[in-house]
Amino acid sequence: QITLKESGPTLVKPTQTLTLTCTFSGLSLNTDGLGVGWIRQPPGKALEWLALIYWNEDKRYRPSLQSRLTITKDTSKNQVVLTMTSMDPVDTATYYCAPWVNDAFDIWGHGTLVTVSS
């Protein structure tokens, strides 16, 4: 059974850096073809892909946010970490992680709501 859990601060101040951790079980980032990604959803708005990291360290970022995002993985800990710099109130959203399998984000975590406010 695959499970994922997002963790990190629920409140960050403008200009601060956000660090989110996705801890998963039931899959391994040593598996050929597997990726893990981050997606966010501002309150009442649509889903927005942020970043994706593959088993072979290949990384992809949303072009409009690329300068602010860094995605890394720790295969031994079954974790993927996303950092986002220069946080702004418009970055307030629920942040999800999910494995990229069969050309889709498969099972999603419950998500973590991050509010950006002073």
Partner 1 sequence: QSVLTQPPSASGTPGQRVTISCSGSSSNIGNNYVYWYQQLPGTAPKLLIYRVNQRPSGVPDRFSGSKSGTSASLAISGLRSEDEADYYCAAWDDSVSGPVFGGGTKLTVL
Which residues would be at the binding site for partner 1 (CB under 8 A)? 37, 46-49, 52, 60-63, 96, 102-111
Q: Which is nearer to partner 1, 29 or 111 (CB)?
A: 111
Closest distance between partner 1 and the C-beta of residue 18, in Å?
Answer: 19
The sign of the torsion formed by the CA atoms of 48, 49, 51, 53 equals positive
Q: How many other C-beta atoms can be found within 10 angstroms of the C-beta atom of residue 29?
A: 21
Q: How many residues does the chain have?
A: 118
Closest distance between partner 1 and the C-beta of residue 13, in Å?
Answer: 27
Closest distance between partner 1 and the C-beta of residue 102, in Å?
Answer: 5
- The three-class DSSP label of residue 73 is strand
